[in-house]
Structures are given as C-alpha cells and as structure tokens.
A and B are shown apart, each in its own frame.
Chain A
Amino acid sequence: EMQLVQSGAEVRKTGDSLKISCEAAGYNFNNYWFGWVRQVPGKGLEWMGIIYPGDSDTRYSPSFAGQVTISVDKSVKTVYLQWSSLKASDAAVYYCARHRNLAAVDDAFELWGQGTVVTVSS
C-alpha cells in the first residue's frame, strides 16, 4: 500500500527559495494524481494544485498559479512544491495528498502525507 512521506520542517527568511518534497512508497506512482494543500495555522485547508507523474500534467488553483511550482521526479517517486521567493504569508503546514482512483483528475484526496511545517521570518 502506498504511503506518502514528506520532508521535514523548514525555517527560511523572506525572499529565500525553498523546495519541499513528498515521497510515495508503493506502486503505481505514475498513474495517480498527487496534490498539495496549504493550511495556515488556525485556518482552513486550501487546495493548491495537482500533478500527474505519468506526463507531468499540472493544474494550479488560480490563487496559487505563478506563486509556487509543483514538479515530479518519477525516478525517485517524489513530488515537489517549490517557491522562488518566500513571503511571510507562505508560513503554513503543507500537506501532500493522492487522489483515490488511478488517473482520475476530478477525485478526492484519499491518502495524505504527515505535513511539512514551513516557517518564514523576516
């Protein structure tokens, strides 16, 4: 059964770049959609975007398009979320998650990682 293991907590300064990761142990990595969800402390969940490792097709929420980049490395079964220049407002817990069904772009997130805390200071 697949598991999602995210990289550890990060502390950065505003303007820094950052790339966090989500490794998917298990099979059929290429054929599921994987996504990222932001949760600012004390606030709700925000859907950021999804990626399909099979062909790197990526979809972004309009709220996050141009602000982050979602990518994948199939050779190590890992999806990434990266920033080129962090803002204070990027401080949050970031979850990676996987859709329920193979190749279904319109699906729910059934499998979740443990979350990565990103702290941004000025």
Chain B
Amino acid sequence: EIVLTQSPGTLSLSPGERATLSCRASQSVSSSYLAWYQQKPGQAPRLLIYGASSRATGIPDRFSGSGSGTDFTLTISRLEPEDFAVYYCQQYGSSPKTFGQGTKLEIK
C-alpha cells in the first residue's frame, strides 16, 4: 500500500497570497496517477486536479498541480476567500487507492 504524507498539516495564509501544499508518496506513483481534492465543512470532496497536473472541469486556473514519482505539489497562485478548506491528495495508480491525511488551509 502506498502511504501519502501531506505537509504542512495546517497552512495559515491571507487572501491574495500564494499557497504551496506538498504530497509525498512512500513509493513511486505510477504514471503520475495523483489527484487533489478540496473539501469544505459539511460538503463532499471536490476533484481539483488529476494526472498530477490536469485541472478538472470548472476549476479556476489559479489552481495548479505538479510533480512526479514520489513528490507532488498543489499550488494556489492567489488565494481567494473561498479557497480556505482542507485539501487531500490521492494516488490511483495502485490498489488500494490511498489518500493523504489532508492539509488544512486557514485564514491568517
């Protein structure tokens, strides 16, 4: 089983700032099958990024994903108030499809 470790656990930033979230895998993620999700309180997760760097339908271009192998990054270029949420990475290249523990992005 691939273990995904996200850092930091909590990130405190202000609107307009740049956010960089990390996801590290315990072994290489095949074919960059890495996704990112956003979850707000009381809501289901929403797909942001798949294939490590492809934005899902309707996702603003301030969200970008990068990385390969064992190290992946989600970047939010300029934070909007609605971006403060919890973010999860998921690898879907091997079974079971595991999630990271999440990064909480909070308003500073």
Q: Do A and B bind each other?
A: no
